[in-house]
Amino acid sequence: MSTFYYPSSTLDVPSSKSSASGEFFPESRRGSCTDSLFSDRSGSSSITLVSSTGQPRKHSLSGLELPLRQSHDTSCHLCGYPVQPIPIPAASAPDLAIEGRPFPINATRDLVIDHLKPLLASVASRGRNLRIVGLLMSEDEGCAMYSKMTGVNCGKLQVDYEVRDMRSQRDMAVLQAEIKRLNEDMEVDGLIFYTPCFGVEQDKEIRSWISPRIDVEGFHPSYWSEATRIAPPLLTENTNSASLADAPIYPCTPLAVVRALQLQGLYNVSAPAGSRLAGKVVTVVNRSDTVGLPLASMFVNEGALVFSIDITSTQVWESHNPSLGPCISNTILDTNTIYSMSDVVVSAVPSRAFKIPTSALKPGVVAINVASGMNNFEADVKTKASRAAERMGSLTVMMLVMNALALRARSVFE
């Protein structure tokens, strides 16, 4: 179970209107946090909280409110740690034109491939290739495309990928029996269940049937504590099977974003772990369990000032004492102001109507879209962004392979 730092008493947060292109963010409800933010990933609505007196306590999340982080604060309301004021740009800051370029996702993927090849060869020398199975039950065209992309990219690494096409089968008992069989097959190193399929809650239940031994997508509750406390290591720190076996398992899309930023120089790789994004402001739009929430954790655990924007509230994530986890507050800063100070903006909003206005972005920003099948940024984003990515695609598949390799290494070194 994760531990978050929280004050002995709560502050009332006034309602505020956060807008981004006007439609996605309605009047907030006193900035209350969502249950999913602090749940222990097993469905419980309670968590261990640490008060400002240092005493752990259990707290029901129903109606829990976060304190308000003011831009001029000099100390944290949660832990008392000295903080810098939020760096709001001056209104007169020049609107510089940028000739941005696409984020080199395929080139970054190739760097990962070069890193993985010797590790995969070492695994194959132990008797067989790495093996990943995909269960395709969804009628969503994007799932079929993603499965095909997975097969192509696995082929580049001599990873065995097998897709089980179950689109004609809607019987839950049959699906559960198939997952159970794959859980028990010791020659399967990773299992993917392609979603969306039956709806958010039922898809989540189906994923819970997958054994952590082969949960290559990194969603199992047993992974959550480490994945939200420990920032992903640099690629160069996973140099052999033993180091992979010790590494946490992270959700693939957030991990792909982090790898892209690491390999393209956005992280200070010479700094110690926990401070490689110190001084950076990063905004994550969407606080979903699978993308936005773990991604905000990964960034704050490297020392970034993180804004987490969702339909319910806008939050500030700061790391003052890594052993206690992030300090999380609400803010009434409007979203355009937040975009204007952000060095990196990552968006995963599942709405074609939602667009982050280019005019609000900081010149030179790195803009990354991970919304499936749509782009949350406007078409002219590269007039402000130094680099812009429309999707993570093939790099996400490489993270599937890396997770499968780590899970295989765990079974070898247990």
Report pLDDT digits (tens) over 392-412: 888 999 999 999 999 998 887
pLDDT at 6: 34
pLDDT at 198 over 50: yes
Task: Say whether pLDDT at 219 is over 80.
Answer: yes
Query: Do residues 199 and 207 touch, judged by C-beta distance below 8 A?
Result: no
Fold agreement between 3-101+258-393 and 105-257+394-413: yes
- Residue 344, pLDDT score: 98
Tens of pLDDT, residue by residue over 316-353, are 999 988 777 789 999 999 999 999 999 999 999 999 99
Are 137 and 197 in contact by the 8 Å Cβ rule? The answer is: yes
Is 233 buried (19+), middle (13-18) or exposed (0-12) by CB count in 10 A? Answer: middle
Q: What is the mean pLDDT of residues 255-265?
A: 95
Q: Where does residue 10 rank: exposed (0-12), middle (13-18), buried (19+ CB within 10 A)?
A: middle
Q: What would the pLDDT profile of 65-117 be if each residue is shown by its tens digit?
A: 788 888 888 899 888 888 888 888 766 455 555 667 888 888 999 999 999 99
pLDDT at residue 287 tops 70: yes
Q: How confident is the model at residue 389 (pLDDT cuts 50, 70, 90)?
A: very high
- pLDDT at site 229: 86
The mean per-residue pLDDT over the stretch 384-397 comes to: 93
Q: Is the pLDDT of residue 24 over 70?
A: no
- At 97 the pLDDT is 58
Tokens of 140: 């969503």
The pLDDT of 219-230, averaged and rounded, is 85
Residue 138 reports pLDDT greater than 70: yes
Residues 288, 39 contacting (CB under 8 angstroms): no
Q: Assign domain 3-101+258-393 to its CATH architecture.
A: 3-Layer(aba) Sandwich (3.40)
Separation in Å, CA 354 to CA 15, 292, 350, 376: 22, 16, 8, 6
Q: Please name which of 192, 188, 187, 179 lies closest in space to residue 219, comparing C-alpha atoms.
A: 192
DSSP state of 128: S
**CA gap 104, 3 in Å, rounded:** 36
Burial of 154 (0-12, 13-18, 19+ CB in 10 A): buried
Say if residue 44's pLDDT is above 80: no
Tell me: pLDDT of 382 over 80.
yes
- Is 105-257+394-413 a domain of CATH 3.40.1360.10? no
CB–CB of 189/408 below 8 Å?
A: yes
pTM: predicted TM-score of the whole model, two decimal places: 0.83
Mean pLDDT (whole number) for 281-299: 95
| Measured distance CA(254)–CA(294) in Å, rounded | 7
pLDDT tens digits, 150-162: 999 999 999 999 9
Q: DSSP label at 377?
A: B
Domain residue spans of the chain: 3-101+258-393, 105-257+394-413
Distance CA 106, CA 399 (A): 13
The average confidence (pLDDT) of the chain is 82
Residue 14 has pLDDT above 70, yes or no: no
Report the percentage of the chain scoring pLDDT > 90: 57
pLDDT of residue 414: 58
